[in-house]
Chains A and B, each alone.
Chain A
Amino acid sequence: EVQLVESGGGLVQPGGSLRLSCAASGFTFTTYSMNWVRQAPGKGLEWVSYISRSSSTKYYADSVKGRFTISRDNAKNSLYLQMNSLRDEDTAVYYCARDFNSGYEFDYWGQGTLVTVSS
């Protein structure tokens, strides 16, 4: 059974940093690209970042470019999101999501971890 379990969320002040983790199991992690998608409270979904299987290719939404860094450790079956210079508008549930095939769809999602940016 495919499982994605996020952790690392919490309350952080504006301008602060946080590192999210996603532990993957039930599939061969090295053969899938991965993504982070977020959802602000009561709002819709927003794609945040993509990383290829070998980490050679990374993409970011304009809203987080230069502040967030995606990475992965294939030996540990883990995905990460380093978030710096956090803003109020970064408050959201952050989901890790597995790429289905082409990089444009997500077939499995974790349950999410809540990040709250507030003073």
Chain B
Amino acid sequence: QSALTQPPSASGSPGQSVTISCTGTSNDVGGYNYVSWYQQHPGKAPKFMIYEVSKRPSGVPDRFSGSKSGNTASLTVSGLQAEDEADYYCSSYAGSNNFELVFGGGTKLTVL
């Protein structure tokens, strides 16, 4: 069982927006602004999409945005495109007493 909870699946039609949630606790998501998101296509390595809750690394389209409220972080993909179909994983720092990084179980995003 993953430390962070994500819905197993999400879907939307091309051009629409979809939001994926990532729920943790005050010991991880709620306690630190170190939430990141990764995109993974089948058989490929994960790709860095969002860091520190809402910042985009260079090269990531602004269609991808992140936010956080309390113990829940969210990734929103606007203007869905076919190539956005992938698995998405959230991650958070969780180390109050010792260093720990935790991931969500992943969400399969389907573009209808």
A-to-B contact residues, CB < 8 Å: 37, 43-47, 50, 59, 61, 95, 100-112
Note all chain A residues with C-beta closer than 8 A to B100: 47, 59, 61
Complex CA gap A106/B48 in Å reads 7
Interface residues of B in 35-60 (CB under 8 A from A): 36, 38, 44-48, 51-52, 57
**Is B105's beta carbon under 8 Å from chain A?**
yes
Note all chain A residues with C-beta closer than 8 A to B48: 100, 105-109
If A104-B93, A105-B91 touch, does A47 touch B45 (CB 8 Å cutoff)? Answer: no
Mask: chain B, 78-109; 1 = CB below 8 Å from A; 0 = not: 00000000000101110000111111111000
Contacting pair A95 B45 (CB below 8 A)? yes
**Is B69's beta carbon under 8 Å from chain A?**
no
Interchain CB contact (< 8 A) of B98 among A37, A46, A59: A59
Tell me, rounded to whole Å, the shortest Cβ–Cβ distance linking A89 to chain B: 13
Contacting pair A45 B34 (CB below 8 A)? no
Contacting pair A45 B91 (CB below 8 A)? yes
Which of A101, A102, A105, A111 has the largest count of B CB atoms less than 10 A from its CB?
A105
Contacting pair A95 B46 (CB below 8 A)? yes
Q: Give 8 pairs: A residue, B residue, CB < 8 Å, sorted on A.
A: A45-B38, A61-B100, A100-B48, A102-B34, A104-B101, A105-B91, A107-B57, A111-B45
Tell me, rounded to whole Å, the shortest Cβ–Cβ distance linking B35 to chain A: 9
Note all chain A residues with C-beta closer than 8 A to B89: 44-45
Contacting pair B103 A100 (CB below 8 A)? no
Tell me, rounded to whole Å, the shortest Cβ–Cβ distance linking B42 to chain A: 11
Contacting pair B91 A50 (CB below 8 A)? no
Contacting pair B51 A45 (CB below 8 A)? no
Note all chain B residues with C-beta closer than 8 A to A110: 45
If A105-B51, A106-B48, A112-B45 touch, does A45 touch B36 (CB 8 Å cutoff)? Answer: no
Contacting pair B45 A104 (CB below 8 A)? no
New A-B pairs, 10, CB < 8 Å, besides A101-B51, A104-B36, A111-B45: A43-B105, A45-B91, A59-B100, A61-B100, A100-B48, A104-B32, A105-B34, A105-B51, A105-B91, A110-B45
